[in-house]
Structure 1
Amino acid sequence: MGISTEPGDRTRLWVSIATAALAWAAFTMTVLHLISSHDPLTDTLSSYAFTDRGTGMLGASILATAIGSLATLAALSAAGIAVSGTSRALFGTWSLGLGAAALFPASYPEHPNPVSGEIHQYSCVIAFLSLPALGFSLLDTLPSGRRAVRGISAGATLMLLLFGIGYALPWLLPVGFVQRLALIVDVALICSLIVIARRNTSAGPGGIGVSRPSASPDLDPSFPSAGPL
């Protein structure tokens, strides 16, 4: 049995993949925070790459988030939602930024690796700058949920600003806590897009569901219609 090519079936497939990937990412990240001795208020997520328990779980969670994000893009396209080249590029920079950050951990005095640290830092900057812009870039093409996407995108922008303040002035804002809030809002934006794709599953291209009447078996197409009665 081959994979169905019907738009609705393809959308449900990508929605399932995206949902499973993000659920796994959330589960892995939660377990990591429960078993690690790091302080979630002051320690950044990057520091969890080097932990007493749960080594490797941070990278697995971030990679799962990247996979779920790319699957969300596929779900939107399968649902017939027009995604511009700009939005596709932002999906790519967000996901690739996450992937690079997972594969190249940050550099710390006890675990020095300047090259990996530079790649990690710039990958994170690119990823976290991309997602709020992605949300705003989709507003003109989404068939529904625009208010929610606009609100979450604004929240992601605010969290990004607060994270920058916390990073520069750690005595003013707990950088670890703000970073986690920023990530939660970013993932919430991806989840809102999954919901929109799911709702648009039966709409088809253009976002309009049209039922086509089937030919009546009682009518012989070889005879002309008798016209309206």
Structure 2
Amino acid sequence: MVIAGAAIGWALFTLVILHTVSGRNPVTDTLSSYAHSERGGGMLEAALLSLAVGTIAVLGALRATGMRLGLTTHILFGATALGLSLAAFFPATLDSGGDVASGVVHQYASLIAFLCLPGIGMSLRERAELEHTRILLNRICVVYAAGLFLFGLSYVTRDLSGLEWINAMLPVGFAQRISFGTGFALLGALALAASRSAKALS
């Protein structure tokens, strides 16, 4: 629990500082573009790696309480952590240039992490040990799914002729942060559930 809380908290703190010093627009710029900021270099990568550590630590905390987790849940936790780690090591490619291969790896790694994270919550909603947080998990998963849909919509339509108005009404950066912020809430809720289960056992 200490490792999970520290890793997730450090990731969140690092991202807040990065948004403060980078000079980029958090409403219109994606998180991936912060890797190319003049200020705050390396902070995005550090935050993603810290969140990956926190994800695995949450899995360890849940297992330590004696909760029986299925293979699907383990795969989703592992895929989320792997996706975050790869996204950290392979920065995105901006329109101005860069390593195209790195950009492709970053894009798909981020997609894996974004899709697997809500899957973790959905795979654990029916666990009897999480009954006291089931409603919270359901709400977080709904918000996450909505944010992910809006992010995908704004991302796909931002360069399509005639559909620029969608991105004007729903900037891609803002939509992405809805999902990413909800991801932090999901991991936090699972860490809280592990803590409550541990107290019940003691």
User: By how many angstroms is 1:110 displaced?
Assistant: 2.8
Task: Write the mapping of 1:179-198 to structure 2, written as runs, cut at 5 A.
Answer: 179-198=176-195
| Greater helix fraction, Structure 1 or Structure 2 | 2
User: By how many angstroms is 1:151 displaced?
Assistant: 1.1
User: By how many angstroms is 1:154 displaced?
Assistant: 1.4
Give the AA of the match of 2:144.
Answer: A
**Aligned: 1:152 with 2:152:** no
User: By how many angstroms is 1:46 displaced?
Assistant: 0.3
**Aligned: 1:66 with 2:38:** no
**Aligned: 1:140 with 2:126:** yes
More off after superposition, 153-162 vs 139-148: 139-148
User: By how many angstroms is 1:52 displaced?
Assistant: 1.2
Q: Which residue of 2 aligns with 1:41?
A: 27
CA RMSD of aligned residues (A): 1.2
Describe the shift of the 1:159–1:142 C-alpha distance in structure 2 as closer, same or farther (beyond 3 A).
farther
Task: Write the mapping of 1:3-14 to structure 2, written as runs, cut at 5 A.
Answer: none
User: By how many angstroms is 1:80 displaced?
Assistant: 1.3
Quote the Cα distance in structure 1 between the aligned partners of 2:18 and 2:35. 10
Describe the shift of the 1:148–1:112 C-alpha distance in structure 2 as closer, same or farther (beyond 3 A).
same
Aligned length: 191
User: By how many angstroms is 1:203 displaced?
Assistant: 3.4
User: By how many angstroms is 1:202 displaced?
Assistant: 3.3
**Aligned: 1:30 with 2:16:** yes
TM-score (ref. length: structure 2)? 0.91
State percent identity of aligned pairs: 42
Q: Which runs of 4+ in 1 moved over 3 A?
A: none
Give the AA of the match of 1:32.
Answer: L
Question: Which runs of no fewer than 5 residues in structure 2 stay unpaired?
Answer: 158-166
Q: Which residue of 2 aligns with 1:106?
A: 92
Quote the Cα distance in structure 1 between the aligned partners of 2:128 and 2:44. 32
User: By how many angstroms is 1:142 displaced?
Assistant: 4.5
Q: Which residue of 2 aligns with 1:123?
A: 109
Q: Secondary structure at the match of 1:53?
A: coil
Question: Which runs of no fewer than 5 residues in structure 1 stay unpaired?
Answer: 1-14, 210-229
Q: Which residue of 1 aligns with 2:156?
A: 168
Describe the shift of the 1:142–1:151 C-alpha distance in structure 2 as closer, same or farther (beyond 3 A).
farther
Describe the shift of the 1:142–1:38 C-alpha distance in structure 2 as closer, same or farther (beyond 3 A).
farther
Give the AA of the match of 1:150.
Answer: N
